[in-house]
Structures are given as C-alpha cells and as structure tokens.
Amino acid sequence: MSAEPVTPHERVRLWYRPMRSRDPHESHRVATPLELLFDLCFVVAVGRAAAELHHAISENHVGDGVLSFVLVFFAIWWAWLNFAWFASAFDTDDVPYRIATLVQIGGGLVLAAGVPSAFEGDFTVIVIGYVVMRLALVGQWLRAAAANPGIRPTALRFALGITLVQLGWIARLALPEGLLLAGFAVLAVAELLVPIWAERASAGTRWHPHHIAERYGLFTIIVLGEAVFSGTGAIQEGIETGEHTGALVSLAVAGLVIMFSMWWLYFERPAQRRLTSFRAAFQWGYGHLFIFASAAAVGVGIEVAVDYDTHIAHISSLPAAMATTVPLAIFLLSVWLLHIGPRNECRPIAIGFPVAVVLVLAASFGPAPVHVAAGIVAALVATVVIATHGEREPSHQGG
C-alpha cells in the first residue's frame, strides 16, 4: 500500500512551524539529535581551551594561562547556555530553526579556532565567532516574539539586550590593552544581566526542567572527557618512553578514579528538583560555570602532572599538584552548593563535602610525589562517593 500524499499545506508546515512556546510538562522530553550535534562542536572549543591551559601551566605561565582560560571558557559556556535554555522553550525543529542553529555551530567553530590566539592576548577571532552565535540567537528571539504575544516583551528585551552587548564586544576590540580586562568584566556582567532583565518583562519563558537537567548533564560529561583524555595520555607516554611507567600508570588510575567519582557525585541526585523557580534556575544555571570550568581543568591538572613526572614541565611540585587539586576542590564545592545544598539534613553529605575540599587542597602541600598525591586525592574523592551514596535529601513538601 502506498503512503498518502502530502498536501501543499502540510508540506509547508514541515518546512516551517510558528515558534510557539513548548509545554514545560511535555512527557519524554529529551535532547534532540541537533542539540547533540551542537554539543559535539563545542567539544572542539573546550578541548582547545584545555590544551592551551595545559601548555601555559607546564611552561610556568600559570597566572596568564588561568586568566585566559577563564575568559575563553566564559564565552564558550555562555554561548552554549543561551542556546540550551532557548531550545528548551522554543525548539520547533523546522528548517529556519535548523539553519539558525547551523549558523551558531559555525560561530562556535570560529570561536574554537580563535582560542590559541586568545591565549596570546588577541581575542579578535573569538569575538567574531561569539558575536555570530549571539546574533543568530537574536533572530530566534524575534521569531519567538512574533509567535508568542504573551511573552513578546521578554523576547524583545532578549533581542535588544543581546544586540547591544554584542556591539559592546566589538567596541572592546578597539580599547587600549590596559582597559581590556575591565571591559571584559563590564560586558560579562551585562551578558549575565540580560536574561534577568528580560524575564521580568512578562510571565517569562517556559523551559522544561527535565530537559534542562539533561542538557547540563550532557555538557558535564563533555568536560569530564578531558580527564579521560589526560589518563589516556599518561598511559601512552609511559608506553612510548618506557620510563616513569609506574608513576604514569598511577596517574592514569588516579585520573580515572577522580573522573568517575566526579561523574558519580554530579549525577547522584536528580538535578531537576533544584529547578523549582526562576530564581533557583538562575542560580543553578549560572553556577554551573564553576562546575564546567573546574571539571575541564581537572583533566588539565592530570596532564600537567604527567609533564612533571616526565620532567617536561618547567614548574615545581606545588603548582603541579595544585593544577589538579584546586579545580577539583572547586568542583566539589560547586556540586555541594548547587546540587545538594549546605543545609541538607543528612550528616555525611553536610560534612563530607566541605571536609573533602579542605583535605584535597591540603594534599597539594604534602611531601609525597605528585603522582602519589594524585592517588591520595582520588582516594579522598572516592571516599566522599561512598560516604554520601544512597543518602536521601530532606523532604521539601509543604515548604
């Protein structure tokens, strides 16, 4: 039996759908193949930023490297975040939406290409890629404004605010070197304030809590992949050189345990339970900058430890150890604050995370070699997993 023919009207609807707000209670809402492709392209940007940070720390340019990493990662994170939340509320998956996403992906690849020059102080290419991504989203917000009268003021504020800030990023390129960092700080704050200002104009956008939680979880896995990459590099280095094999195997095992423990702790509790209001969503969504950046930096720290043990790095044992312990401590603290909450009534959770943060940082100052310190840190994080696994959160009913 042949399929029924598609009428001209139905054919048009396959190509174009009004960008109406999606149901925040929609069942079985998961990441789409297009969103997964979008994330895959961001792997490139995250990987390049991590590689440049690794090189900077190993060459003893720690301060400049960390600062450049923070600036670059903010651009990566903010562009990804805005796409994720917009898609949760308005993904139509029609041809105009896909083309706009293609433009954003293209901008993301340009951004990734500009990472090495950004670590040298030239942000021109990154700004070009970033502005392309953000202006493509402006077009999407204008579509949403046209199709949703109830949230039109919010959508138009988003479009206006994003456009004005992008003009600011372009103007920043002309600033003298001494004002570049201050200009970045002002514009970054402006970016963060645009959604808060826009959402106050109407009832607000209708994002899907489960979908958002999944999208953030997928990006967390992407940044955790840096630890997997670093562990592989440690093993490869040991095989190729035939030297320091024991230390490198120890680092590889420690990196794997640390990565798996970070994954376990992050996904131990359903994240959507934290997305109960716009205020909670802003805190949770914005706070993930620390989770994402620190997770990526932990992998960098393992690679730096490999360089140190193979006598490639031009740094002492303390910064070599802190390259892993500091971002890991930030990750633990951020997961505790965002996913669990310092007021949690479960004693192992309430005490375990802060104690682990202190002990992880303290491991940097011990007399043990770097690969041994990495093993100690891995054991500490694994202990947190064991101590907190299965503990229930306090009930929030009626509160």
Which tens digits make up the pLDDT trace of 223-249? 998 777 766 766 676 667 666 677 788
Which amino acid, residue 278? F
Contact call for residues 188 and 79 (beta carbons, < 8 A)? no
Give yes or no for residue 165 having a pLDDT over 70: yes
168 and 218 part of one domain = no
In this structure, the number of other CB atoms found within 10 A of the CB of residue 351 comes to: 13
Higher pLDDT, 390 or 329: 329
Residue span of the structural domain in which 268 resides: 209-388
Does residue 393 fall inside a structural domain? no
Beta carbons of 173 and 123 less than 8 angstroms apart: yes
Q: Quick one: 312 and 358 in the same domain?
A: yes
- Total residue count of the chain as it appears in this document: 399
For residue 50, give both structure tokens.
């991590």
CA–CA separation, 71 vs 76, rounded Å?
9
Same-domain check for residues 327 and 290: yes
* Tokens read off for 337: 């604050």
Predicted local confidence at residue 174, as pLDDT: 94
Encoded tokens for 103: 């433009």
Contact 136, 128 (CB under 8 A): no
Is residue 20 packed enough to be buried (19+ CB in 10 Å), middle (13-18) or exposed (0-12)?
A: exposed
259 and 297 part of one domain: yes
- Domain end among 155, 181, 199: 199
**Together in a domain, 194 and 221:** no
Strand segments (E) across 98-234: none
Q: Are residues 90 and 118 in the same domain?
A: yes
Q: Is residue 14 in a domain? A: no
- Domain-located, residue 7: no
Q: Please report whether residue 110 resides in a domain.
A: yes
Q: Is the residue at 6 inside a domain?
A: no
In a domain, 289, yes or no: yes
Distances from the Cα of 170 to the Cα of 19, 133, 388, angstroms: 30, 14, 47
Asked if the model's pLDDT at residue 262 lies above 70, the reply is yes
Q: Same structural domain for residues 236 and 352?
A: yes
End-to-end CA distance of the chain: 58
- Ranking 68-77, 178-187, 218-227, 322-331 by mean pLDDT, the lowest is 218-227
Give domain status of residue 15, yes or no.
no
Q: 10 Å Cβ neighbour count for 311?
A: 9
Between 158 and 338, name the one with better pLDDT. 158
State the average pLDDT over residues 105-112.
95
CB atoms near residue 117 (< 10 Å)? 14
Shared domain for 166 and 213, answered yes or no, is no
Report the number of distinct structural domains present in the chain: 2
CB 40 within 8 A of CB 259: no
Which CATH number do you get for residue 234? 1.20.1410
Whether the predicted pLDDT of 63 surpasses 80 = yes
Q: Are residues 344 and 303 in the same domain?
A: yes
Domain-embedded: residue 9: no
pLDDT at 234: 62
Residue 220: how many other CB atoms lie within 10 Å = 21
Residues 293 and 329 placed together within one structural domain of the fold: yes
Asked which of 199, 225, 256 is the last residue of a domain, the reply is 199
- Do 170 and 145 lie in one domain? The reply is yes
Nearest one of 243, 224, 245 to 381, comparing CA atoms = 224
226 and 175 in a single domain? The answer is no
Rounded Cα gap, residues 281 and 274, in angstroms: 7
Q: Which is more confident, 309 or 99?
A: 99
Whether the CB-CB separation of 114 and 124 falls below 8 Å is answered with: yes
Q: Which of 199, 222, 251 is the endpoint of a domain?
A: 199
Query: What digits encode the pLDDT tens for the residues 285-312?
Result: 999 999 999 999 998 999 898 888 888 8
CB-CB contact of 306 with 355 (8 Å) = no
> What value does the mean pLDDT take over residues 52-75?
94
